[in-house]
């Protein structure tokens, strides 16, 4: 038996290749749109991808199932649980089979048994993997967005991100029941989740790529609560803001993503023309020379997420990049969430205008201090007299920021504040400064200016 993990840090997303070494057959679970990684790994392991499956209709990235099936001819297995509202619309494709609870996918000498685990979504299924030559006891549990290391999948996304009213509390209750239903499974079962730390699909995900059911029973907060009412209250509290693009992903993945054939490569252009400009250079390069009128989304772990928050799916953009490689990577990152909008790239024109930097010691109280971190971060601690607008909502709430005041922007450590500064500058705010080290810098150098919960 061969298990290979593929982790995409910009999405905190994990997908898996599981193969039978004897027969050479393999299945991919929850593939991303960039399928080259699975094809290359399968070839390196002497495997051929014969099966593809998903744990649920994803909201945080565009599924690569149809892309991979088109490239390999593999059979596709999708959930048929949750009712007609949650049936995949491409289930009539000739290579697609629908699964109910208890369905078994056979991959050589391996079997994956579908277990209906609703809560995060109504159609959600997990897979019990058994290596039959070794044992008739299951070896691994591919839990998707059901059980994470240290957390469980949030049940509120359908309502808060995709506007399916009335699903939040119901989802929390069936999630509790799904957790209780794992009682008959052995402690030794390895758990391979679909997300790690940094994902918006939960509130306290750990960074471990694999865990065990026995360990989660001891350490995971969700397994400690035995009252359904208490669990519902706990699981719905303190969840992070769901990105705007989640609703778009949910609809596209249910319908069936368009097959690209290849990930994008971007052509160099001499000007942006009338298109919007997105600066994907490093945060340090953007700070040294901001390009007037551009939206800055630095090339770091947050690029995919913030592109999903801030860009429109029907409006092409030109990216400013430091190299062809950086431009191509930005386009690939955006394509993982279906943002096929990058029409070209160009280097930064001229020297640009540097950001105005300030320090917490220079903040006098006369300024409009703008904290663009998330709500949970704000609730834990923030600068005294600061104003809070989470970065993803800033464009829609610019009327709350006074144009006649000096605006001082900060985030936690400097990754998000350049995006906020660019949003303000694009909107005509001329007196904008940044605390580049964020609240971490403030807490270290000016602890008296921090108010903790």
Helix (H, G, I), strand (E, B) or coil at 374: coil
Residue 162: predicted pLDDT? 87
Residue 396: predicted pLDDT? 96
Helix (H, G, I), strand (E, B) or coil at 361: helix
Residue 112: predicted pLDDT? 99
Residue partners of 89: CB distance under 8 A and separation at least 6: 254, 255, 256
Tell me the mean pLDDT per 10 residues along the chain, length 453. 97 98 98 98 99 98 98 98 94 95 99 99 98 96 98 95 91 98 98 96 95 98 98 96 94 96 94 95 96 96 96 96 97 96 94 94 95 96 97 98 97 98 97 98 97 89
Residue 163: predicted pLDDT? 85
Domains and CATH numbers, the chain: 2-255 (3.60.15.10), 276-346 (3.40.250.10), 356-452 (3.40.250.10)
Token readout for 360 is 């917490």
Residue 151: predicted pLDDT? 98
N- to C-terminal Cα distance for the chain?
Answer: 49
Residue 449 DSSP label? G
CA angle 298, 304, 308 (to 5 degrees): 110
Pairing between strand 13-19 and 2-8?
antiparallel
Pairing between strand 432-434 and 356-357?
parallel
Strand partners, 151: 148
- Cα 215 → chain centroid: 25
pTM: 0.95
Buried b (16+ CB within 10 A) or exposed e, 70-104: ebbebbbbbbbbbeeebbbebeeeeebeebeeebe
Pairing between strand 151-152 and 190-193?
unpaired
Residue 349: predicted pLDDT? 87
């Amino acid at each position: 038996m061969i298990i290979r993990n593929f982790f995409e840090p910009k999405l905190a997303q994990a997908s898996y290749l599981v193969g039978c070494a004897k027969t050479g057959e393999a299945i991919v679970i929850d593939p991303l749109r960039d399928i080259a990684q699975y094809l290359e790994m399968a070839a390196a392991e002497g495997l051929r991808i014969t099966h593809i499956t998903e744990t649920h209709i994803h909201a945080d990235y565009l599924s690569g199932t149809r892309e991979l099936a088109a490239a390999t001819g593999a059979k596709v297995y999708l959930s048929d649980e949750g009712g007609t509202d949650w049936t995949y619309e491409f289930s009539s494709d000739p290579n697609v089979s629908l699964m109910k609870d208890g369905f078994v996918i056979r991959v050589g000498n391996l079997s994956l048994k579908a277990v209906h685990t609703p809560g995060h979504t109504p159609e959600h299924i997990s897979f019990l993997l058994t290596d039959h030559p070794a044992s008739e006891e299951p070896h691994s549990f591919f839990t998707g967005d059901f059980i994470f290391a240290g957390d469980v999948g949030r049940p509120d996304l359908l309502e808060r991100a995709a506007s399916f009213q009335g699903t939040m509390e119901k989802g929390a209750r069936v999630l509790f029941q799904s957790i209780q239903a794992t009682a008959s499974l052995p402690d030794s079962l390895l758990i391979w989740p679909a997300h790690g730390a940094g994902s918006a699909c939960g509130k306290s995900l750990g960074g471990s790529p694999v865990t065990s059911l026995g360990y989660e029973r001891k350490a995971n907060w969700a397994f400690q609560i035995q009252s359904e009412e208490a669990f519902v209250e706990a699981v719905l509290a303190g969840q992070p803001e769901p990105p705007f693009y989640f609703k778009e992903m949910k609809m596209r993945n249910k319908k069936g993503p368009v097959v690209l054939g290849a990930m994008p490569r971007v052509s160099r252009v001499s000007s942006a023309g009338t298109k919007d400009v997105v600066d994907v250079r490093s945060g340090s390069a953007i700070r040294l020379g901001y390009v007037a009128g551009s939206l800055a989304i630095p090339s770091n772990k947050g690029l995919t997420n913030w592109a999903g928050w801030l860009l429109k799916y029907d409006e092409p953009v030109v990216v400013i990049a430091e190299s062809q490689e950086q431009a191509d990577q930005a386009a690939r990152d955006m394509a993982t969430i279906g943002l096929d909008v990058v029409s070209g790239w160009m280097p930064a024109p001229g020297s640009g205008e540097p950001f105005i930097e300030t320090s917490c010691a220079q903040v006098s109280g006369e300024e409009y201090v703008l904290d663009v971190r998330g709500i949970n971060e704000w609730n834990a601690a923030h600068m005294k007299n600061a104003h809070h607008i989470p970065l993803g909502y800033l464009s829609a709430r610019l009327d709350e920021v006074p144009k006649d005041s000096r605006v001082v922007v900060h985030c936690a450590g400097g990754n998000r504040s350049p995006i906020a500064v660019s949003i303000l500058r694009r909107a005509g705010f001329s007196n904008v400064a940044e605390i580049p080290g964020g609240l971490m810098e403030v807490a270290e150098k000016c602890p008296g200016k921090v108010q903790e919960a």
